[in-house]
Structure 1
């Protein structure tokens, strides 16, 4: 499975993440496009960062399922939030979801960037992911 760790002698992470993650042998790295808080009908889960982040993470979990994978396969997250005022809602969604996905605290690396805006003014959270999934056959397809 994915190995995640924060080496001794390096400053501790400032939030819930590890500094490093490694893809195990026999796995391939799958890169996810940024996921936003859209429901299956294309509408936003809500106007706020917490609702959008929860849905973006649910979308990541659903995409993992299409690969026969789970959040345990996550190697890295990259989180974008459109403005510091949205950080509390984003952090609540991350805390709850990552706590459910990784009850042992073995969370993947996660970069968080506060940006001026995302694809549309209504979107306030976008989350990219990378996962290590077992190779299906030698070509990786």
Structure 2
């Protein structure tokens, strides 16, 4: 819950997120839009969809789900990818956070990612029941 002493968030995020008692932190490495078979999705929206699928798969393997996310850090290779990424994020967040209780987030535009075809990368922190 964001305090009334700061401006409301500018998008689908919370200014802060709390780790509930009885939970442990799980750190998810930056995910790219790479499918399990190693293929890279084309474009920011498709890469974003694959990234959110990867995050969900990692959390499921840990016995958790997207509702346990407390922090996301998104890196875009260009502002040109913002609309596509936001579309993919809106789709995932509508499913994951129907009540609008979003995780804390940071989004930055960087000079480049690990390879020229990568448009977006997302790392995460989750608070998973112990």
TM-score > 0.5, shorter chain as reference: yes
Which of 29, 37, 43 is the aligned partner of 1:41?
37
Deviation >3 Å, runs of 4+: none
Task: Say yes or no: does 1:117 pair with 2:89.
Answer: no
- Alpha-carbon offset, residue 126 of structure 1: 0.3
Secondary structure of the 1:38 match is: coil
Tell me the residue number matched to 2:5: 9
Instruction: State the alpha-carbon separation in 1 of the partners of residues 105 and 117 from structure 2.
Output: 23
Tell me the residue number matched to 1:19: 15
- Alpha-carbon offset, residue 45 of structure 1: 1.8
Cα RMSD over matched residues? Answer: 0.7
Gaps of 5+ in 1: 136-141
- Alpha-carbon offset, residue 24 of structure 1: 1.0
Tell me the residue number matched to 2:76: 81
Gaps of 5+ in 2: none
Aligned length: 130
Tell me the residue number matched to 1:139: none
Task: Say yes or no: does 1:103 pair with 2:98.
Answer: yes
